[in-house]
Amino acid sequence: MKEDWTGFLLPYKQTTSELKAKFTALREQFKLSQQHVPIEFVTARVKPVDSILEKMQRRNILEANLENEMEDIAGVRIMCQFVDDIYQLVKLIRKRNDLSVIEERDYIANEKESGYRSYHLIIKYPVQLLDGQRDILAEIQIRTLAMNFWATIEHSLNYKYNGKFPNELEVRLKRAAEAAFQLDQEMSAIREEIKDAQQEFSYRRGNDTKE
């Protein structure tokens, strides 16, 4: 087993912090341009070593193939208000020339068995290191606030039950995932109203701070 996890994970740490900074900057640009802001907030993490080891075992990934076969050691998550924002961001990400998209998984159109919904992009991101440039695989997950609420709670329950939910809980979680999706659809249906209100609100707040 690896002895130097800190050294191995350093380029992943650099990848997550650079990507987080870039998507946060994108949010600022949207805000400044007075358009609807499709990014609510951005988080990033490097997969903890125990999760890497667990996934290596579960997926039969050899240590020598870790860099090429484990795509989510570097992970960035973007939270949006509306489902449409997700697809707008996907289009923007595809067009960027500081990364390349190598795979897409639409778990919104095709939700997982658990009820999980999100849009996943597997990307290749070039980081500049002491000894030159290296392409790092990273996973970008894009979801609405409602999808994130569900996934966060389900994820912590997963830890508690070690991935094996009692039947009743599994059914309830699926029902909750549907309810979250219904909420997203309702919010989308009144999105123009919400957007106008938010623009008006931020305009007024801008004026207030100048007084």
Whichever of 36 and 72 has its CB closer to ligand 0O2, that residue is 72
State the minimum distance, in angstroms, from the CB of residue 51 to ligand 0O2. 6
Whichever of 36 and 141 has its CB closer to ligand 0O2, that residue is 141
State the minimum distance, in angstroms, from the CB of residue 105 to ligand 0O2. 5
Residue 2 region, left (φ>0) first, then alpha (ψ -120 to 50), else beta?
Answer: beta
Pairing of strands 74-80, 100-106: unpaired
State the minimum distance, in angstroms, from the CB of residue 135 to ligand 0O2. 19
* Binding positions for ligand 0O2, rule: CB under 6 A: 47, 51, 55, 72, 75, 105, 112, 114, 116, 120, 151, 154-155
State the minimum distance, in angstroms, from the CB of residue 187 to ligand 0O2. 21
Token pair for 143: 């979801």
Question: Which amino acid would we find at residue 123?
Answer: I
Catalytic residue chosen out of the listed positions 40, 139, 200, 211: 139
54 catalytic per annotation: no
Q: Cα(65)–Cα(202) distance, rounded to whole angstroms?
A: 49
Are 120 and 104 a contacting pair, CB within 8 Å? yes
Measured in residues, the chain has a length of 211
Strand partners, 127: 134
Whichever of 157 and 194 has its CB closer to ligand 0O2, that residue is 157
Whichever of 37 and 140 has its CB closer to ligand 0O2, that residue is 140
* Dihedral angle, C-alpha 96, 74, 159, 66, nearest 10 °: 120
- Residues with catalytic roles: 139
